């Protein structure tokens, strides 16, 4: 910003304790550049008669923003974080995970992005810390889950009814880490090897003499579904059988 002195006798001598001033500037107006450290600075001007005046300057910095506020990530997964605002360079570190960059600097951009990789075989919390040149500190809370599908599975790797119900509850309550695609794969694991005797009998009805379902039989099942002769659960097992080479 610009500062102006009135009165006194030119030329003027300007001194800033922390900020920057143009070299050899002796006019009554000066352009002051604040330091990158927040706090109080002092600007002093003296005239040719050695009379002086002072101005106290409160130096503020832009708010340092680190996003997202909470990062939801699976163990071993890599996701992006973004930094903006603040003053000067960014220094980054994480308690457990690995960051692609330990130092970043905005060079005309509105924000800077980097990658965070969660530790493998770990479930719990981590924190990403960001410090700018002015001493502003920002942070991102990290919630690390195990591989998402296995998080709903038991020790045998199978998803039982409790795990399926938990996944459905998490999905419909809007948990950030569970999307429709992942829920589909959890459902696949749950349904695998859980065909009922009723559905098994229907699958066998569509199978040929060799006990397999080929493309023609698959097409017949689809036609029967659209005609209302076959329910979706039975069709699921027919499709599974067809995709597994024709056998359950």
State the DSSP string of 104-123. EE-SS-S-EEEEEEPPTT--
Per-residue pLDDT band at 90 (split at 50, 70, 90): very high
| Domain presence at residue 248 | no
Helix or strand run (H / E) with residue 170:
helix 161-172
Same domain, 185 and 217: no
CATH code for the domain in which residue 129 is found: 2.60.40.10
Domain boundary among 83, 116, 145: 145
Given a cut of 90, whether residue 36 has pLDDT beyond it is: no
- If you average pLDDT over residues 170-178, what whole number do you get? 82
Residues 88 and 136 reside in one and the same domain: yes
- Let me know whether 134 and 170 are in one domain: no
Q: What is the pLDDT of residue 194?
A: 67
112: left (phi over 0), alpha (psi -120 to 50) or beta: beta
pLDDT higher than 90, residue 114: yes
User: CB within 8 A of 192, min separation 6: which ones?
Assistant: 158
As a whole number of angstroms, the distance between CA 242 and CA 248 comes to 8
The pLDDT assigned to 198 comes to 77
213 belongs to a structural domain: yes
Per-residue confidence (pLDDT) for residue 142, from 0 to 100: 93
Q: Please tell me whether residues 185 and 132 are part of one structural domain.
A: no
Selection from 118, 146, 145 nearest residue 127 by Cα? 118
> Is 110 inside any structural domain?
yes
Please give the residue that has the higher pLDDT: either 246 or 39: 39
48 & 71 share domain: no
Whether 135 and 126 have beta carbons less than 8 Å apart is answered as no
Confidence of residue 27 (pLDDT cuts 50, 70, 90): confident
Nearest to 132 by CA among 86, 68, 101: 86
Q: What percent of the chain has pLDDT over 70?
A: 90
pTM of the model: 0.46
Q: Widest CA span of the chain, in angstroms?
A: 114
Q: What's the rounded mean pLDDT across residues 86-95? A: 90
Do 128 and 89 share a structural domain? yes
For residues 204 and 162, membership in a common domain is answered with: no
Check pLDDT > 60 for residue 40.
yes
Q: Are 103 and 77 in the same domain?
A: yes
What pLDDT, in 10s, does the model give residues 117-168?
999 878 889 999 999 988 889 999 998 877 677 778 777 667 787 888 888 8
39 and 11 in one domain?
yes
* Secondary element (H or E) of residue 56: strand 52-59
Structure tokens at 51: 């009379």
Residue 62: is its pLDDT beyond 90? no
Domain that holds residue 13: 2-59
Q: Examine residue 58 and say whether the peptide bond preceding it is cis (omega within 30 degrees of 0).
A: no
Task: For residues 43 and 111, state if they share a domain.
Answer: no
* Domain match, 156 and 138 both: no
- Please state the domain count of the chain: 4
């Amino acid at each position: 910003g610009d500062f102006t002195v009135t009165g006194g006798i030119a030329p003027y001598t300007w001194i800033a304790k922390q900020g920057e001033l143009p070299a050899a500037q002796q006019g009554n107006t000066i352009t002051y550049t604040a330091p990158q450290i927040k706090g109080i600075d002092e600007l002093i001007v003296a005239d040719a008669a050695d009379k002086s005046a002072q101005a106290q300057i409160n130096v503020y910095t832009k708010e340092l923003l680190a996003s997202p506020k909470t990062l939801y990530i699976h163990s071993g997964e890599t996701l992006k974080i973004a930094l903006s605002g603040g003053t000067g360079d960014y220094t980054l570190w994480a308690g457990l995970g690995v960051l692609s960059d330990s130092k970043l600097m905005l060079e005309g951009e509105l924000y800077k992005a980097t990658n965070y990789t969660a530790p493998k075989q770990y479930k719990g919390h981590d924190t990403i810390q960001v410090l700018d040149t002015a001493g502003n500190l920002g942070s991102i809370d990290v919630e690390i889950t195990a591989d998402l599908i296995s998080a709903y599975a038991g020790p045998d790797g199978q998803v039982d009814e409790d795990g399926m119900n938990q996944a459905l509850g998490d999905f419909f309550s809007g948990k950030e880490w569970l999307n429709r695609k992942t829920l589909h794969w959890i459902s696949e694991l749950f349904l695998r090897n859980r065909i009922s005797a009723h559905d098994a009998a229907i699958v066998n009805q569509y199978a040929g003499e060799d006990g397999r379902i080929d493309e023609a039989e698959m097409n017949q099942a689809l036609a029967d579904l659209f005609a209302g002769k076959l329910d979706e659960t039975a069709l699921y097992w027919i499709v599974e059988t067809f995709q597994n080479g024709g056998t359950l």
